[in-house]
Amino acid sequence: MVSGGMTCVKYLLFLFNLIFAITGIVFISVGAVILVVYNGYNNFLDSWFFAAPLLMIVVGVIVFLVSFFGCCGAVKENHCMIITFSVLLLLIFALELGAGITGYMMRGEVANMLENRMNGTMRQYNTNDDLRRSWDIMQHDLQCCGMNGPADWPRIGFIDNSVVPDSCCKELPSQSKCDVNSIHVYGDGCMMKLQSAIENNAMILGGVGIGVALIQLIGVIFACCLARSIRREYETVETTAH
């Protein structure tokens, strides 16, 4: 049995593991929500974009399992389990830190990705049902029109020189067409709105990932202190026995 200050470390480590378990659940939930929210915009996003939320889900599952392992090690005062927990926690720390830094770095790629995707898909609006549905969902949800504004639709030759998709307008009167000069048309372009949303989310996710990773370092320190104390207890018992 550990004694003195190490007993406090033991229970602090147990508490930290409960917090880690909660953060694991949060990671899983956030990753799943991002996948669901941006699933309707998959025609405007490259496949690498969806790697981040998938990684969050995987890390969340690993964090949850490792925290359970750490709780068992702390309660049972098992030196081997605690050392294994510390090593796994360091690996997760590196993974989360890398994911957080990558999230920040990817923010610079969002503009080019959206510009290339939107330029290509706008021209297929009239011929591709899937792309038309994606554009309508985005314009309705983000309250935007075209890539940079309503004038983009006439520029690519949509129907005629003034009509834009109905999803560009709010509260459109029945039997009316959405017009670039209509008071009901959304004036903002979709590229800046979607880019802003993605970059803000990337900033938040990156900050959370790095923040949680740094907090986990404290857990590693507690675990190492507890493991060292347990090892000393065993050595003391063995010395006394001899």
pLDDT by residue (tens digit) across 137-156? Answer: 999 999 999 999 998 998 88
When pLDDT is averaged across residues 133-138 and rounded to a whole number, the result is 93
**Angstrom distance (rounded) from CA 206 to CA 202:** 6
pLDDT by residue (tens digit) across 173-200? Answer: 777 788 888 888 999 999 999 998 888 8
Token pair of 232, please?
Answer: 């000393």
Q: Indicate the residue type of 121.
A: T
Token pair 């923010």 in the structure block, residue: 107
Token pair of 21, please?
Answer: 């378990």
3-class secondary-structure state, position 15? helix
- Predicted TM-score (pTM) of the model is 0.72
DSSP state of 149: S
